[in-house]
Amino acid sequence: MIQASTLIEVLGWLGAATVIAAYGLVSYGSVNGRSKAYQGLNALGGLLLAVNTIWHHAWPATAVNVIWTGIALGTLLAGPARHESA
């Protein structure tokens, strides 16, 4: 059976890869920054990183990841962006 510490490390690395993948996708124009795919990847990645940073008692990083996840979830719940003229 896998040890808890190993599982937490794997989750942390998966979270990091997920956030980096989201950043790459939006940076190269494959997805829009308001898309469900982008925000979903950010929410998942932030959550996985938060689990890892909580385990390691890295509180500043935990705060960033919880806020990151909250922003992504808030954006997902808000629905499509409104287009306002400038």
User: pTM for the whole thing?
Assistant: 0.89
pLDDT value at position 79?
82
Sorted by where each begins, the domain ranges of the chain are 16-78
Residue 80 pLDDT class (50, 70, 90 cuts): confident
What's the rounded Cα separation, in Å, for the pair 79 and 86? 21
Residue 82 pLDDT class (50, 70, 90 cuts): low
| DSSP of 17-84 | HHHHHHHHHHHTTSS-TTSHHHHHHHHHHHHHHHHHHHHTT-HHHHHHHHHHHHHHHHHHHH-SPP--
pLDDT digits (tens, 9 = 90+) for 15-74: 999 999 999 999 999 999 999 999 999 999 999 999 999 999 999 999 999 999 999 999
Cα 66 versus chain centre, distance: 9
